[in-house]
Structure 1
Amino acid sequence: MSSSAQQTNVYDVVVVGGGINGAGIARDAAGRGLKVLLVEQGDLANYTSSASTKLVHGGLRYLEYYEFKLVQKALAEREVLMGIAPHIIWPLRFVMPHVKALRPAWMIRMGLFLYDHLGGRKKLAGSKGVNLQQHEAGVPLDDSLKKGFIYSDCWVQDSRLVVLNCMDVEARGGKVMPRTRCTDAERSADAWQVELTDTVSGQIQTVTSRAVINAAGPWVAKFLGEAMHRNDDKDVHLVKGSHIVVPSMFDHDASYLFQNTDGRVIFAIPYEQRFTLIGTTDVAYEGNPADAEASDEEIEYLCEAVNRYFKQPITPADVAWTYSGVRALYDESDEENVSAVSRDYSLDLDDSAAPVLSVFGGKITTYRTLSRQAVDRVAPLLGAEITDWTGKVALPGGDMPNEDFDAYLAAIQQSRPWLPEAMAWRLVRNYGTAVETMLGEAGSLADLGEHFGSDLYEAELRYLAEYEWAMTGEDAIWRRSRIGLMLEPAERERVSAWFAGQNTKRATA
């Protein structure tokens, strides 16, 4: 450990990793009265947790791999998460056209029956058959598609879910430090000496922690080896998933799940009001997860997959944006098909001295149950209680009366009639009740400060910088929001220049 490091603070738990698992674990632990520090080498949700298909779902296709426990766990979580974050999580109806040659109708009906009943569904609508020749969802589809099925799942603003959990960590007395890498951790019988390096300034500091939780996602095994000096032989599969975004391919609110000829499924989902999100691929990955990007082959694959269903084909030239994320899947089998590797998670606790718990695998939908179980494993060692509280308390911005997004949006529009309708919708969808803090006493668009393009104003950037750890234009327009899709390149540069001009102070532990 560097001799330049200085002792600054003592924590109950240091959580390494600012993706959804780390953020959820830190929130859960802080809510149990533990003193928590979360560190993340990049921005919050910088990597995998901002690169998902944006779904809170049971995983219909996992039923084919007999992952009944995982599906049941995920299905039960959908409505819990809707309740604590109704601004960033909402129901979607999915249309699945039937192609007889790929899966028989009886198999799909059986799968949807299980999907309807495994998770104790109460709020979401059940599945049903549909005549695509008469339903609006059939209009953009190839005329050969006669019938299909409709079922429910949920949408989530994935990177915002991470940030909201982190905001709640600090509201409960914890500390969150993005752009801070854990570079070394030395263990004694009752504590860890944890070296932290600021990735912007290079400043090094040391904290003491009674426990460390390794939620480093695709870096989980590397962190164990390099920073914690352990040689755990964990079978971690790195799998890249890529998505493409194209101009809207249909003008209704339903989404699609398409069967592909290789046995996988592809989603096509309305995205940011003007686009369609298409994904995902499943490709074994080697290399630095931070460098993942969609290959030409993946882009072509996704275009071809949806072109089998839509009347109007797309080509790679139509792609407005791509993104990719790498998942660390934990599997002890000899399975070579990465699509068949379990999406469930595994928690590995070593309490032979000061405890360290490592998180392998997981998915956004089950992050809250993973977090609870992770904290339950270390809580008795730290004198904290065993409790399940995170599904009963709204995340920041989610405290809308009766969890009613539409009613709250209407109230905002009534109290601020000068807000354009589409802008009001976007702001409330992203920030919920926190939009009132953002807008403050503004009585017109001019009061929101500099206009950067589309419906992005300085007031939103100031809010993101002050409350949500945004330090760069990319943080603001590609993770805290996706408004970068609506901006011209020169406008994006202006946002970046605005952040560069801010005197951002870096926090210490």
Structure 2
Amino acid sequence: MGIPSRREAQGDRRYDVVIIGGGINGTSAARELTAAGYKVLLAEMFDLAHGASSRSSRILHCGLRYFETSRPLRSFLSSPRRLASAAGMARAAMQARAELNALRPEICKPFTMCFPVYGGDAVKGWHLDLGFGLLRRLGPARPVLDYRRVAGDFDRHVPFVCDLRDRDRLRSVATYREYIIDSPDRLCVDAALEAERGGAELRLFTRATIAGRTAEGGWSLRLSGQGSVEMVEAPVVLNLAGTWSDEIIAGIAPEPRVPLVTGTKGAHIVVRLPPRYAGHGIACLHRGGHPFYCLPLGGDLFCFGPTETPYGGDAADAVATDEDVAFLIEEANFLLPGLRLRRSDVVFTWAGVRPLGYDARQPMGRRVREIHDLADRGLPGIFAMTAGPVMSHLSAGRDLRKAVGRVLAPSRLPPVPPLPASRPDPAAGDMARMRHAVGAEHARDLMGILYTRTGLAWGRHLDRRTVEVAAETVSDLLGWSPGDVATQVDSFMRHQNIRFARRETDRLSVDRVEART
């Protein structure tokens, strides 16, 4: 099997599995492996959910998107393999939708998705009927899809139909139930903390470097962070660093090296829409042929996106550029010309990079989730994953546990199920939540407190005084001096203004929003 036998653990520096990456798949794998009896260490260079996990479109979709192409019949009839792949991904989406709804209903927010069908377009109404018929057969019966296709009296059934393009060519509107994941960051935090309660070790703000092979044939890793360097060993390493996965093995992989990951950027804009959009979203194909959505984020905030462009830079630096914003506004106005959106209507933006599988024949990467056993690259005991979306993280964690189990048995008996997580008293307010994030959830900066763990900054821009109060609230726990508080506030404000770039809404824009109401 390629994995050496292990001696008894010597101190705390030896583990069964070291996981590199604290995103949604790394934390899910840590939870599954710890529950199975493996001694696990999870190392994350930044904070939990730092990369793609916190920058997704947040949609928990039913899998229809895998059948959405500009020429569905031609595409699938000409390639049965592509149809089988689409059906497999759609089945996985339906199963993930059902499982996450059952386990975490409080963060799965339902809404009615609408797919307009026009005369002359490549996507026909019967295509959607067939697609949803397949979805019903592929996935669980619950939660229901609530699919129907409205073929007339649109003003009564589709409250925003007045804004749609080409009313004279509108043949029908398909409606069905979808969900928005309210806090993907929180999913990462909860999985990591559950793994820790089961015995896993978390090393955040720690860079893990694979130093080489051990005398036994396992792997030696250097952990650098918070002013210290430590060497640890493990026979199995899970390289779950997302778009950074190729960097993790760059120094140890034999030549020639074929990349693991192709990065594609998805940018979004957020605008305020009038009350008639409440509880609804819109799905379509944009003029480039890729899925395009208008999604409800809460209150009157809606996002349009995503883009689909190649990205070769550092994923941490990904932002919505002026070109991205212009494209998204143009496509939003093509879909909904009645809104007459302008740049001044954009409340904030965000962008993330999808870690898709590299394929020289597919410049935009492979979207099928894959676990890569790197033994065939001369790296036995190292596994990686590509194209693992947030919505399917539960099954991803199980599949990673099974991959490890094929080469290594756990060194311990499965632990007693961990105690429930401690929670601050909801009545205690935001300050208690912030202090709990530091004292019990490993938060070390304001980004980790206000975005990742509490979500207090999500969906709005905080003013400087609010951020100062937050910093002062936790300064005693983190040992921050007044100078440290000022530095932390400056850092948060830069982060907020770059990662969630804001376009100031002028008075005219506010008047236009009110007029659209």
The two structures share one fold, judged by TM-score above 0.5: yes
Does structure 1 conserve the Cα–Cα contact (< 8 Å) formed by 2:266 and 2:306? yes
Trace 1:114-133 onto structure 2 (pairs within 5 A).
114-130=134-150, 131=152, 132-133=154-155
Q: Residue by residue, what CA displacement relative to the aligned partner does 1:288-314 show, whole Å, maximum 9, x if unpaired?
A: 111111111111111111212332222
| Aligned counterpart, 2:87 | 68
Cα pair distance change 1:499/1:248, threshold 3 Å: farther
Matched, 1:438 2:424: yes
Amino acid at match of 2:309: V
Matched, 1:243 2:268: yes
Amino acid at match of 1:276: F
Trace 1:24-35 onto structure 2 (pairs within 5 A).
24-35=28-39
Cα pair distance change 1:491/1:101, threshold 3 Å: farther
Amino acid at match of 2:156: Q
Give the secondary-structure state (helix, strand or coil) at the position aligned to 2:248.
helix
Alignment: residue pair count: 438
Cα pair distance change 1:48/1:492, threshold 3 Å: farther
Give the secondary-structure state (helix, strand or coil) at the position aligned to 1:384.
coil
Trace 1:270-309 onto structure 2 (pairs within 5 A).
270-309=296-335
Match of 2:57 among 53, 59, 83: 53
Displacement of 1:361:
2.2
Match of 1:107 among 127, 130, 133: 127
Trace 1:352-367 onto structure 2 (pairs within 5 A).
355-367=381-393
Give the secondary-structure state (helix, strand or coil) at the position aligned to 1:381.
coil
| Aligned counterpart, 1:91 | 110
Trace 1:409-448 onto structure 2 (pairs within 5 A).
437-439=423-425, 442=427, 448=429
Matched, 1:464 2:491: no
Higher relative helix content: 2
Trace 1:150-189 onto structure 2 (pairs within 5 A).
150-156=175-181, 157-188=183-214, 189=216
Amino acid at match of 1:350: A
Aligned CA RMSD, in angstroms, stands at 2.8
Q: Residue by residue, what CA displacement relative to the aligned partner does 1:244-267 show, whole Å, maximum 9, x if unpaired?
A: 112234442122113312112211
Displacement of 1:95:
1.0
Cα pair distance change 1:354/1:186, threshold 3 Å: same
Does structure 2 conserve the Cα–Cα contact (< 8 Å) formed by 1:238 and 1:284? yes
* Structure 1 unaligned blocks of 5 or more: 1-6, 398-433, 449-456
Amino acid at match of 2:348: W
Displacement of 1:229:
4.7
Does structure 2 conserve the Cα–Cα contact (< 8 Å) formed by 1:243 and 1:279? yes
The alignment's TM-score, normalised by the length of structure 2, stands at 0.78
| Aligned counterpart, 2:514 | none
Match of 2:468 among 478, 491, 494: 494
Amino acid at match of 1:69: G
Amino acid at match of 2:362: E
| Aligned counterpart, 1:321 | 348
Match of 2:45 among 41, 45, 49: 41
Q: Residue by residue, what CA displacement relative to the aligned partner does 1:58-112 show, whole Å, maximum 9, x if unpaired?
A: 4322224532111111211211111222222243321112233332222222222
Displacement of 1:53:
0.7
Give the secondary-structure state (helix, strand or coil) at the position aligned to 2:244.
helix
Q: Residue by residue, what CA displacement relative to the aligned partner does 1:358-396 show, whole Å, maximum 9, x if unpaired?
A: 2122212222222212211222433239xxx9xxx9996
Matched, 1:334 2:361: yes
* Partner Cα separation in structure 2 for residue 483 and residue 204 of structure 1: 34
Give the secondary-structure state (helix, strand or coil) at the position aligned to 1:183.
strand
Amino acid at match of 2:371: S
* Partner Cα separation in structure 1 for residue 339 and residue 478 of structure 2: 47
Amino acid at match of 2:223: L
* Partner Cα separation in structure 2 for residue 230 and residue 20 of structure 1: 29
* Partner Cα separation in structure 1 for residue 433 and residue 351 of structure 2: 26
Does structure 2 conserve the Cα–Cα contact (< 8 Å) formed by 1:472 and 1:496? no
Does structure 2 conserve the Cα–Cα contact (< 8 Å) formed by 1:471 and 1:499? no
Cα pair distance change 1:154/1:38, threshold 3 Å: same
Give the secondary-structure state (helix, strand or coil) at the position aligned to 1:302.
helix
| Aligned counterpart, 1:78 | 97
* Partner Cα separation in structure 1 for residue 222 and residue 389 of structure 2: 29
* Partner Cα separation in structure 2 for residue 299 and residue 460 of structure 1: 34
Q: Residue by residue, what CA displacement relative to the aligned partner does 1:216-242 show, whole Å, maximum 9, x if unpaired?
A: 10011111113x455442353111111
Give the secondary-structure state (helix, strand or coil) at the position aligned to 1:95.
strand
* Partner Cα separation in structure 2 for residue 322 and residue 276 of structure 1: 11
| Aligned counterpart, 1:22 | 26
Does structure 2 conserve the Cα–Cα contact (< 8 Å) formed by 1:95 and 1:257? yes
Matched, 1:265 2:291: yes
Does structure 2 conserve the Cα–Cα contact (< 8 Å) formed by 1:8 and 1:206? no
Does structure 1 conserve the Cα–Cα contact (< 8 Å) formed by 2:149 and 2:175? yes
| Aligned counterpart, 1:13 | 17
Amino acid at match of 2:131: G
* Partner Cα separation in structure 2 for residue 173 and residue 140 of structure 1: 56
| Aligned counterpart, 1:452 | none
Displacement of 1:20:
0.9
Amino acid at match of 2:355: A
Does structure 1 conserve the Cα–Cα contact (< 8 Å) formed by 2:98 and 2:140? no
* Structure 2 unaligned blocks of 5 or more: 1-10, 70-81, 480-517
Does structure 2 conserve the Cα–Cα contact (< 8 Å) formed by 1:56 and 1:155? yes
Give the secondary-structure state (helix, strand or coil) at the position aligned to 1:11.
coil
For the pair shown, the structure with the greater C-alpha radius of gyration is: 2
Larger displacement relative to structure 2 (156-165 or 493-502): 493-502
Amino acid at match of 1:118: L
Q: Residue by residue, what CA displacement relative to the aligned partner does 1:316-354 show, whole Å, maximum 9, x if unpaired?
A: 222122111112211435123x2x742432322429786
Matched, 1:134 2:120: no
| Aligned counterpart, 2:449 | 476
Displacement of 1:41:
0.7
* Partner Cα separation in structure 2 for residue 42 and residue 19 of structure 1: 10
Trace 1:338-353 onto structure 2 (pairs within 5 A).
338=364, 341-350=366-375
Amino acid at match of 1:260: H
Amino acid at match of 1:269: L
Does structure 2 conserve the Cα–Cα contact (< 8 Å) formed by 1:472 and 1:500? no
Does structure 1 conserve the Cα–Cα contact (< 8 Å) formed by 2:434 and 2:470? no
Larger displacement relative to structure 2 (484-493 or 14-23): 484-493
Displacement of 1:183:
2.5
Amino acid at match of 1:141: D
* Partner Cα separation in structure 2 for residue 71 and residue 394 of structure 1: 33
| Aligned counterpart, 1:504 | 478
Cα pair distance change 1:396/1:362, threshold 3 Å: farther
